[in-house]
Amino acid sequence: MIKEMCNQAKEASQQLALAQTRQKNECLLAMADLIWEQRPAILNANQGDVQGAERAGLSPAMIDRLMLNESRLEGIAASLRDVAALPDPVGKVFDARELPNGLRLHKQRVPIGVLAVIYESRPNVTIEVTGLALKTGNAIILRGGSETIATNRALVAVIRAAMQQSGLPPEAVQFIDNPDRALVNELLKMHDTIGMLIPRGGNQLHQFCRENSTIPVITGGIGICHLFVDESANQDASLKVIQNAKVQRPTVCNALDTVLVHRGIAATFLPRLVERLKADNVTFRAHDNAMPYLKGFSAPLVQPAGSEDFDTEWLSLVLGVKVVDGLEEAIRHIAAHSTGHSDGILTENPDHANQFVARVDSAAVYVNASTRYTDGGQFGLGAEVAVSTQRLHARGPMALEELTTYKWVAQGDYSVRP
Amino acid sequence: MIKEMCNQAKEASQQLALAQTRQKNECLLAMADLIWEQRPAILNANQGDVQGAERAGLSPAMIDRLMLNESRLEGIAASLRDVAALPDPVGKVFDARELPNGLRLHKQRVPIGVLAVIYESRPNVTIEVTGLALKTGNAIILRGGSETIATNRALVAVIRAAMQQSGLPPEAVQFIDNPDRALVNELLKMHDTIGMLIPRGGNQLHQFCRENSTIPVITGGIGICHLFVDESANQDASLKVIQNAKVQRPTVCNALDTVLVHRGIAATFLPRLVERLKADNVTFRAHDNAMPYLKGFSAPLVQPAGSEDFDTEWLSLVLGVKVVDGLEEAIRHIAAHSTGHSDGILTENPDHANQFVARVDSAAVYVNASTRYTDGGQFGLGAEVAVSTQRLHARGPMALEELTTYKWVAQGDYSVRP
């Protein structure tokens, strides 16, 4: 069944790769309209999933993530219209050159072919990744969470109806309509047809895919993010940046996890930091070397960090703090504990800024800015399908171009290699 | 032992990533000099390997591949000087932009970090891939064939001496000095330290790596390559291109395997093709539908193709021929049988050329040119570490830039996400 799905997707991808931008955009707009028109059916299916989740005793946070309503559907439809408005990377010619041997050579952007996405509860992902895949001429195989299977079934029906309506092959969107985990194992071996696997979920899912997939995997989405407050930093402004990075949306991967404070300002800065963020309900895990500066505060506001706290992605209003002797120690701490997602320095010292940028090897490295910027929308890419923290193909926010590859095209005059 | 090697390489890679271009080039030139100076020791070690291979009964072709002499060492040293002369991609800034939110953003090329290369008999690979890795600031872990272990040991000693001499960390080049296959299995799981795995060898090695590695693998190097001779093609010129593609160096991956001939010219073109290439000792495997046009020839020059012949990379002076009804059937044959390496059309019809380019999805697609051009040197890239036929990160010849990745660098003014 999985093999047949993959073959169908592969065949449809060949047609989709040749689709004109206008036709793909019409399809995205039709999809947006149809989601809105079909909202009773979608919301009805979603209600079934929500009731199932309640019966299964899922947490209110989980249930909130899978729940749809009219306003969320409106947002989903709007995101499709946004994708339709973005430039189409497919067909773009680059690195053109004429070689001394007379060959005219260029690279040309083409779709990856077939993408597979394994994701968890949020049904908006179904529409968002499908929209990005279609825009870039890729077929897609979706494997969502079992708790949203009815919702996803309804959404995929709408997607395929819109494709049919626009003259694009509905087989380009395949949905694994069966929660059996054995099917995932089978899917992970389909490297003959699937060009890229994108897991969207926790660390365990990424690890499982990395270990079991023969398809190239884009791992990412796990962010243990750091800000180093250098001695020269503007302290008021730094507090504002840290607050934004920690508090604005603590449950996402680009939220701040650890603040490293230069010893020279620790006595003044650390107490101010705690005072500032306690109003936002942030609690602190302080390294032994930071505790002496925080004697005025007690648990649960400030407590000593445990042995694994600096290797924890908090995803909540907890913030690790540690004192460092300076730039060198900050960089070493980050090299040892960062997941390579987003790390930054707050400083007025341009030399320190340059050294930090050169030596911290994360997907996004910041000077005097919040880690929260790591996002396809914020970076001006218009969308994002994942944030890659691995090193091949793409790093950081993956948008349209990152869902393409290229081929070399060479035009000669019956040219032969000398 | 493997883990310790990887950790050493990782640590050294952090230093190497910051090395100046001038220092890296000095090291490459020192390496070239030292290879020449140390040629007695290297050739002595190589002689031991050659004798071992003879005792083990390896084929003369295999022994020729692992054999070094002064002229080959001269070539290896020259290739290092060529790499020193190439531009250094590391540090290159691209996609710079200032965002409406005030953030100044760019991408910056950085090394992958640690590369691992698993390869077979040719000891020149040891020097070539190490040179390319060092030029791009990457550490490298080498696992060569057991039949060249003494040669590789001598070469790595020279490499490390040159690095020491140039002030670069010798630990950046690690050599698995033990033919135990269990060590390869261990190596393939080192995704925490190794960023990219490059197998160089046959199909089985690539498959083994794809199935067992948790490190991203660059598969490639297998080419079932096609040329389609369209009805409108200049036949004389086409014969010249086919001859070049098949005969110039039949043992390599970009050599031609199958010629597809338009039915409208089969009666004239096919006999001419056989006449032309028989002088080069080419023999033909003809599809049933081509045999009627080749009645004038007999086996072994022309024989009927077996059921797997069109899925065989010949690597020898054998050429498959098949008649097709036209462009459509040619494209379908290529989609079914190509390994996505190098495929081309010979035609005077621009519309057919365009359709072929749009629809044939190989790493290199040719119009009126020999498939033999698919090569880093020919493409003007100056070098090549592998030819990728997978779709992620890089396709076709992989040179210096393909051994790098990028990071995003964002500079703000204590900027916070709105």
- Considering only CB atoms, A97 lies closest to which of B18, B101, B380, namely B380
Q: Are B199 and B217 in contact (CB under 8 A)?
A: yes
Q: Hey, are the CB atoms on A390 and B414 less than 8 Å from each other? A: no
Instruction: Please indicate, yes or no, whether residues B294 and B183 belong to a single structural domain of this protein.
Output: no
Identify the closest residue of chain A to B216 by CA–CA distance.
Answer: A216
CB contact under 8 A, B407 and A396: yes
Q: pLDDT by residue (tens digit) across B224-233?
A: 999 999 999 9
Reported as a single tens digit per residue, the pLDDT across B16-52 is 999 999 999 999 999 999 999 999 999 999 999 999 9
What pLDDT sits at residue B186? 97
Q: Do A369 and B244 touch (CB under 8 A)?
A: no
A363 chain-B contacts, CB cut-off 8 A: 407-408
The pair of structure tokens assigned to B5 is 């090697």
Q: Are residues B350 and B399 in the same domain?
A: no
In B311-394, DSSP assigns E strands to 318-324, 342-346, 364-369, 386-388
In this structure, the answer to whether residues A72 and A115 fall within a common structural domain is yes
Q: Do residue B408 and residue A365 have CB atoms under 8 angstroms apart?
A: yes
Residue A12 lies in a domain: yes
B233 with B180, same domain: the answer is: no
pLDDT band at residue B114 using 50, 70 and 90 as cut-offs: very high
| Cβ contact, residue pair B369, A414, below 8 Å | yes
What mean pLDDT do residues B336-345 have? 97
Q: Identify the closest residue of chain A to B218 by CA–CA distance.
A: A216
Q: Which helix (H) or strand (E) holds A92?
A: none
Q: Report the chain B residue with the minimal C-alpha distance to residue A367.
A: B411
- B149 lies in the same domain as B280: no
Contact criterion met (CB below 8 Å) for B15 and B27: no
The residue behind tokens 């080039």 is B25
Q: CB of A341 within 8 A of CB of B383?
A: no
Nearest by CB to A110, which of B113, B361, B379? B361
Q: What's the pLDDT at A221?
A: 81
Q: Which residue of A has its CA nearest to B344?
A: A410
> Cα–Cα distance between B24 and B11 in angstroms, integer?
17
- Picking from B211, B238, B413, the nearest residue to A414 by CB comes out as B238
Check B407 against A416: CB less than 8 A apart: no
CB < 8 Å to B12, chain A: none
Q: Which positions in chain A touch B244 (Cβ < 8 Å)? A: 416-417
Q: Give the DSSP letter of residue B344.
A: E
Q: What is the pLDDT tens value at each position of chain A, 418 positions in all?
A: 999 999 999 999 999 999 999 999 999 999 999 999 999 999 999 999 999 999 999 998 889 989 999 999 999 999 999 999 999 999 999 999 999 888 999 999 999 999 999 998 789 999 999 999 999 999 999 999 999 999 999 999 999 999 999 999 999 999 999 999 999 999 999 999 999 999 998 889 999 999 999 999 998 888 999 999 999 999 999 999 999 999 999 999 999 999 999 999 999 999 999 999 999 999 999 999 999 999 999 999 999 999 999 999 999 999 999 999 999 999 999 999 999 999 999 999 999 999 999 999 999 999 999 999 999 989 988 888 999 999 999 999 999 999 999 999 999 999 999 9
Nearest neighbour of A112 by CB, restricted to B113, B391, B411: B391
* Half-sphere exposure (Cβ direction) of A236: Cα atoms closer than 13 Å: 0
Which pLDDT does position B122 carry in this prediction?
A: 87
Q: In angstroms, what separates the C-alpha of A393 from chain B's closest C-alpha?
A: 4
Based on the fold, state whether residues A199 and A172 are members of the same structural domain: yes
Task: Say whether A391 and B195 touch across the interface (CB within 8 A).
Answer: yes
What chain B residue is nearest to A411 in terms of C-alpha separation? B367
Residue among B169, B206, B172, B170 nearest B188 (CA): B206
Clarify whether residues B131 and B252 are in a common domain: no
For CA atoms A393, A396, A397, A401, give the dihedral sign: negative
For B233, residues 6+ apart whose C-beta sits below 8 A from its C-beta are B262, B265, B346, B347, B348
**Residue B248 is assigned to a structural domain of this protein:** yes
Q: What are phi and psi of A122, to 5 degrees?
A: -70, 115
Shared domain check, B255 and B215: no
CB contact under 8 A, B391 and A196: yes
Contact B395 A380 (CB under 8 A): no
CA–CA min distance B113, chain A (Å): 9
DSSP string covering A168-211? --GGGEEE-----HHHHHHHTT-TTT--EEEEES-HHHHHHHHH
% residues pLDDT > 70 (chain B): 100
Residue A322: which domain range? 225-373
Closest Cβ–Cβ partner in B391, B395, B417 for A248: B417
Distance CA A314, CA A317 (A): 7
- For residues A269 and A252, give the distance between their C-alpha atoms in angstroms, rounded to a whole number: 26
Q: Note the pLDDT of residue A41.
A: 97
Strand order through the sheet with A114-119: A173-175, A139-143, A114-119, A196-200
Chain A: nearest CA to B369, how far in angstroms? 4
Burial (CB count within 10 angstroms: exposed 0-12, middle 13-18, buried 19+), residue B295: exposed
- Across the interface, of B14, B237, B359, the residue whose CB is closest to A18 is B359
Beta strands in B221-341 (DSSP E): 225-229, 256-262, 283-286, 302-304, 318-324
Smallest CA–CA distance from B100 into chain A, residue: A380
**Tens-digit pLDDT profile for residues B201-226:** 888 999 999 999 999 999 888 899 99
Looking up residue A28, the CATH number of its domain turns out to be: 3.40.605.10
Nearest-Cα residue of chain A relative to residue B233: A414
The distance of A16 to chain B (nearest Cα, Å) reads 11
pTM given for the model: 0.94
Which chain A residues have a beta carbon less than 8 Å from that of B384?
A: none
Query: Which segments of B89-213 are extended strands (E)?
Result: 93-98, 104-111, 114-119, 139-143, 173-175, 196-200
Residue B248: is it exposed, middle or buried by C-beta count within 10 angstroms (0-12/13-18/19+)?
Answer: middle
Clarify whether residues A188 and A215 are in a common domain: yes
Is residue B348 classed as helix, strand or coil in its secondary structure? Answer: coil
Residue B74 has pLDDT above 90, yes or no: yes
Residue A261's pLDDT is: 98
Residue B67 resides in a domain = yes
Residue B380 lies in a domain: no
**Residues of chain B contacting residue A407, judged by C-beta atoms under 8 Å apart:** 361-365, 395-396
**pLDDT averaged over every residue in chain B:** 96
pLDDT band at B53 (very low <50, low <70, confident <90, very high): very high
* A404 domain residue, yes or no: yes
Domain-located, residue B381: no
Nearest to A365 among B210, B358, B409 (CB): B409
C-beta separation of A381 from A399 below 8 A: yes
Calculate the dihedral angle through the C-alpha atoms of A189, A191, A197, A201, rounding to the nearest 10 degrees: 10
State the smallest CA–CA distance between residue A221 and chain B in angstroms: 16
Do B47 and B158 lie in one domain? The reply is: yes
| Interstrand relation of A104-111 and A114-119 (parallel, antiparallel or unpaired) | unpaired
Nearest to B141 by CA among B306, B13, B324, B316: B13
User: For residue A363, which of B134, B195, B98 has the smallest C-alpha distance?
Assistant: B195
Question: What is the C-alpha to C-alpha distance for residues A295 and A73, in angstroms, rounded to an integer?
Answer: 49
Tell me how far apart the alpha carbons of residues A157 and A45 are, in angstroms, rounded to a whole number.
12
Of B105, B240, B368, nearest to A411 by CB-CB distance is: B368
CATH of the domain at A255: 3.40.309.10
Report phi then psi at A265, rounded to 5.
-120, 5
Query: Which is nearest to B159 in space by CA: B217, B98, B76, B101?
Result: B76
Closest residue to B405, CB basis, from A248, A395, A405: A395
The one-letter amino acid code at B355 reads Q
B263 burial type by CB count under 10 A (0-12 exposed, 13-18 middle, 19+ buried):
middle
Average pLDDT, integer, range B86-90: 96
Kindly report the number of other CB atoms within 10 A of residue A275's CB atom. Answer: 12
| Best CA proximity match to A199, nearest among A239, A247, A145 | A145
- Whether A398 maps to a domain, the answer reads yes
Residue B417, domain member (yes or no): no
Point out the residue among A365, A405, A409 whose CB comes nearest to the CB of B392: A405
Say if CB A319 and CB A295 are below 8 A apart: no
CB A214 within 8 A of CB A29: no
Pair B109, B86: CB distance under 8 Å = no
Amino acid occupying residue A403: L
| Residue B410 to residue A370, Cβ atoms within 8 A | no
**Residue B402: DSSP 8-state:** G
d(CA B412, CA A346) in angstroms, rounded, equals 10
A10 lies in the same domain as A122: yes
* Angle in degrees, 0-180, between the axes of helices A263-278 and A235-247, rounded to the nearest 10: 50
B239 → chain A, closest CA residue: A414
Cβ-Cβ contacts under 8 Å between A and B: the total is: 215
* A65 and A165 housed in the same domain: yes
Q: In Å, how far is A358's CA from the nearest CA of chain B?
A: 7
Question: In chain A, how many domains are there?
Answer: 2
Distance (Å) from the C-alpha of residue B244 to the closest C-alpha of chain A? Answer: 6
Contact at CB, B365 and A407, closer than 8 angstroms: yes
Inter-chain touch B414–A241, beta carbons under 8 Å: yes
Q: Using the predicted structure, report yes or no on whether residue B409 has a pLDDT greater than 90.
A: yes
The DSSP secondary structure of B171-200, one letter per residue, reads: GGEEE-----HHHHHHHTT-TTT--EEEEE
For residue A245, list chain B residues with Cβ-Cβ distance below 8 A: 416
Measure the CA–CA gap between B201 and B406, rounded to whole angstroms.
28
B216/A390 Cβ within 8 A: yes
Tell me if A237 sits within 8 A of A345, measured CB to CB. Answer: no
Task: Return d(Cα B294, Cα B282) in angstroms, integer.
Answer: 15
